[in-house]
Amino acid sequence: MFFLGQPFGLSIDKESAVNCVKNDGVSIKRAAEMFAINHTTLMNHVKNYKYNAIGRPTVLTRDEEQLIVHALTKLADWGFGLDRFQL
């Protein structure tokens, strides 16, 4: 089952399909049919294709974002909540 926001990585079925192709010599198309996985997706996992990040690079680092979130949360706890126009 597919949910929006599902994290990238191998599910158990994909992992089993990759092992089936690599270890048992089953073709990618046959393994894709057996495990009900798109054959292109399976091929990408078998060949370990890595994709570059999509979109623009972020302006703030993850630590800077967490610092801002922490500060805004503290302000809200103290009764000084800000809306998006005040940021």
pLDDT number for residue 6: 46
Asked whether residue 73 is assigned to any structural domain, the reply reads no
Asked whether residue 1 is assigned to any structural domain, the reply reads no
Asked whether residue 2 is assigned to any structural domain, the reply reads no
Asked whether residue 18 is assigned to any structural domain, the reply reads yes
**Residues of the domain holding 18:** 11-52
Asked whether residue 60 is assigned to any structural domain, the reply reads no
Residues of the chain with pLDDT under 70: 1-11
Count: domains in the chain = 1
Question: Whole-model pTM?
Answer: 0.48
Asked whether residue 36 is assigned to any structural domain, the reply reads yes
CATH number for the domain that contains residue 25: 1.10.10
Asked whether residue 67 is assigned to any structural domain, the reply reads no
For 36-70, b/e burial (b = at least 16 CB within 10 A) is: ebeeeebbebbeeeeeeeeeeeeeeeeeeeeeeee
